Chains A and B, each alone.
Chain A
Amino acid sequence: MKRIFAWVLVLVLCLTTCLAVAETKVSFFTGKIETIDLLNEIIDGFNAANPGIVVEQEYQNDASSIIKVKFASGEVPDVMTTYEQEFVDQGKYKDLSEMNEWWDRLIPSMRESCTDLKTGKQYRVCTNMTMAGFFYNKEIFSKLGLTPATTWDEFVQNLNVIHEKMPDVVPWFIFGKEAWHLGHLIEFIPHGYLKQSLGALESKTAMLNNDSAELNFGAADGCMAVFAQNLLDLQAKGLINEDVLTATSDNCVEAFVTGKTAMFSNGMWALSGILEANPDMADKIGFAPYPAYMPDSKPVVLCAEDSGYSISATTENVNAAEAFLSYLFNAENQKKYAEALGSPSAFVDVDAEWAPKAFADEVNAVLNNAVNIGFTNEKPAGFSGDDAGRMVQDLLAGTYDVQSFAQAYEKAWNEGF
């Protein structure tokens, strides 16, 4: 009897091991906190519909840093949302250019945004678009008879009116403790100017080749010096918040939803936080482009790819990873995803209510009237957006004057290469 029991036990163990071996595990690595729950729900649906494949989501707050450790240790996830030019150059991602079932459904400009400039291939699929500009309080603007500015002079004029007529309201709230936010100001304003003046492709090429004649960051009347001068002027006039160096994005949202600030710069990812903090704001949020601040320039708005997915070049689970992404990219899941994220879908067959209608209409109007720019993916690996933001912190703390800021930026950029 004991012997039979022992044999049964061995058999059960063998079967369990075989089943475990037969199961394909797909690791999915992400840094997007806002979609964890929804993606878990989608993953559960995929796992249930695909016996033998188990997708496991791993979220890391500092995903762009952690992925480097994963690459170094050889524990590379099968699917990931982190994407860097240096990883593309090192051949870390699988070429997805042939995945026509995905590309045929994607807005062509988004496929272009996903294309690596050096190889002309696609190593990621971006499922959404994101926009960044100024979020403003429509109620305050309407009370003061203001309209969103298209030039820097109009912009300063608006801030002045708010400051004079509503002294308790911060005209423009900048949450400068978070260096990425200040880095974004550089990304959208001076870099935005370069992108519109040189052209999308030409500016990418100039940045990729570090063409100093075109970029001209250190010039006394260049885009960086004028940006710095404008920012310091606003600080001196009290048109931005006094605690600019210690304020956080939470402080900003709180100030905005309580009517204590009239506007702030951010991307669509901020929308859900605002509406969560005060659902009544839905009809009061306006959206405006970054005003033209250089001679002969135009207002700009960020319209870039969001939520990109890549597959590891070394994964042994290519089919399972592709099956998971195909499931994730289906129209039903993407509608849910766009609505949860608060970003329009990049798929043509997805009709999502990603924002309150009035706000979405306003965003669309801005996209039609301003120059659309993308993110700078071609910046030097040794000079991150965070580094740039820290230089703006130094500027606002009085470490730099205008000229030394522009020169220091140029130096840091060059050294980053």
Chain B
Amino acid sequence: MKQKRKDLTQWMSLPALILYGVFFVYPLIKGVGMSLTDWDGMGKANFVGFTNFARFFQDARAMGDIRTTLIFAAGSALLLNLVGLGYAFLMEKPFPGRGLARVIVYLPAIISPLIMGYIWYFLLQPGRGFLYHAARQLGLEFFLGNWMSSYPTTMAVLILVNVWQYAGMTMIIYLAGLKSISSDIREAALMDGANGWQRFTLVTLPLLMPSIRINVVTNIIGSLSVFDIIMALTEGGPGYSTESLSIYIMRMCYGSRTGYSTAVAMILFLIILIPVLISLRLTRGKEQPL
């Protein structure tokens, strides 16, 4: 009877394995093969070896896109975690309207990033946007410029919009992490004479490591594969200055360079994998048992 149940349990994993094989393993193998061809999406594909990969590193636009993607990811991941953690500490303590405040902070995360991008585009438009008029009324002259006409300011806008949208999501994970820390441990530290900074760095932070790991990994993955917000706010412009690798892949694919775009997708996969593995490695040893 026990053996039969074991057999049945093994078979029950089959649908999941089939789905995994069809939607992940097969496309991955097919993609690797495609990345070694000059396929234009329609005609015959010819094997070109690693030419696509070599060409990628010779393309100035692609190198610019890597820079943009990395700056965006680094800025976003850092700020998302700082802001999310700050929000979590604020929202952990009881105060009137705390539930509503949590909802307000989390709300942007449930709106499509594409729509969010358009909303911010209209808010920031020089001479027309709400923020422009508000700044003029308040006499904030420095705010009246065109924030999306040069690379540094456009990147800052993109990162801040991304942080504004997803800080609530990061906050929720940190809140769950803070909830799971026993109050006894914090009280014991307090009784031992630890000050606020010591309690944060020596007690709270190590116990928050699982939440930090989840947040850092998901933020890095999300930020390195950014697409929607940039498309809505700048379409990768001016020129191709704020184009991300995901947008580059899409444009190359629709530009009849399907083989090449698949090679870039493989490179992006590795670019995402490396920091994720590093962050997992760095945070693993710092975890403390509750």
B239 touching A399, Cβ below 8 Å = yes
B239 touching A69, Cβ below 8 Å = no
A68 touching B238, Cβ below 8 Å = no
B149 touching A90, Cβ below 8 Å = no
Question: Binary interface profile of A, 56-72, with partner B (CB < 8 Å = 1, else 0)?
Answer: 00000010010011011
A242 touching B237, Cβ below 8 Å = no
Q: Tell yes or no: A179 within 8 A of B by CB.
A: yes
Q: Tell yes or no: B204 within 8 A of A by CB.
A: no
Question: Binary interface profile of A, 218-237, with partner B (CB < 8 Å = 1, else 0)?
Answer: 00000000000000000000
One of B170-178, B250-258, B264-272 contacting the partner: B250-258
B residues 223-238 near A (Cβ < 8 Å) are 235, 237-238
B146 touching A68, Cβ below 8 Å = no
Q: Tell yes or no: A349 within 8 A of B by CB.
A: no
B239 touching A72, Cβ below 8 Å = no
Contacts of B235 in A (CB 8 A): 177, 179
One of B76-84, B120-128, B273-281 contacting the partner: B120-128
A393 touching B239, Cβ below 8 Å = yes
A65, A90, A245, A398: the one contacting B237 at CB < 8 Å is A245
CB of A360, distance to nearest CB on chain B (Å): 32
Q: Tell yes or no: B218 within 8 A of A by CB.
A: no
Q: Tell yes or no: B41 within 8 A of A by CB.
A: yes
B126 touching A246, Cβ below 8 Å = yes
Question: Binary interface profile of A, 39-74, with partner B (CB < 8 Å = 1, else 0)?
Answer: 000000000000000000000001001001101100
A251 touching B238, Cβ below 8 Å = no
A residues 366-417 near B (Cβ < 8 Å) are 381-382, 384, 390-391, 393-394, 396-399
Contacts of B125 in A (CB 8 A): 243, 246, 251
A397 touching B150, Cβ below 8 Å = yes
B256 touching A245, Cβ below 8 Å = no
Q: Tell yes or no: B148 within 8 A of A by CB.
A: yes
B42, B126, B148, B255: the one contacting A71 at CB < 8 Å is B42
A242 touching B258, Cβ below 8 Å = no
B240 touching A390, Cβ below 8 Å = yes
Assuming the A-B contacts A68-B256, A243-B126, A246-B146, are A390 and B42 also in contact, with contact meaning beta carbons closer than 8 angstroms in the complex?
A: no
Contacts of A65 in B (CB 8 A): 254
Residue of A242, A381, A391, A397 ringed by the most chain B CB atoms within 10 A: A397
CB of B120, distance to nearest CB on chain A (Å): 12
Q: Tell yes or no: A86 within 8 A of B by CB.
A: yes
B41 touching A243, Cβ below 8 Å = no
B254 touching A68, Cβ below 8 Å = yes
Assuming the A-B contacts A381-B256, A382-B255, are A399 and B42 also in contact, with contact meaning beta carbons closer than 8 angstroms in the complex?
A: no
B residues 113-152 near A (Cβ < 8 Å) are 125-128, 146, 148-151
A-binding residues in B (CB < 8 A): 41-43, 125-128, 146, 148-151, 235, 237-241, 254-258
Other than the known A90-B42, A246-B146, what 18 A-B pairs have Cβ atoms closer than 8 Å?
Answer: A68-B256, A72-B41, A72-B258, A92-B42, A243-B125, A243-B126, A243-B146, A245-B146, A245-B149, A382-B255, A390-B237, A390-B238, A393-B239, A394-B240, A397-B150, A397-B238, A397-B239, A399-B241
B-binding residues in A (CB < 8 A): 62, 65, 68-69, 71-72, 86, 90, 92, 177, 179, 242-243, 245-246, 251, 381-382, 384, 390-391, 393-394, 396-399
Q: List 17 A-B contacts (CB under 8 A).
A: A62-B254, A72-B42, A86-B256, A177-B237, A242-B126, A242-B146, A243-B125, A243-B146, A243-B149, A246-B125, A390-B237, A393-B237, A394-B240, A397-B150, A398-B150, A399-B238, A399-B241
* Closest 7 A/B residue pairs (Cβ): A394-B239, A65-B254, A397-B238, A393-B238, A72-B41, A245-B149, A71-B42
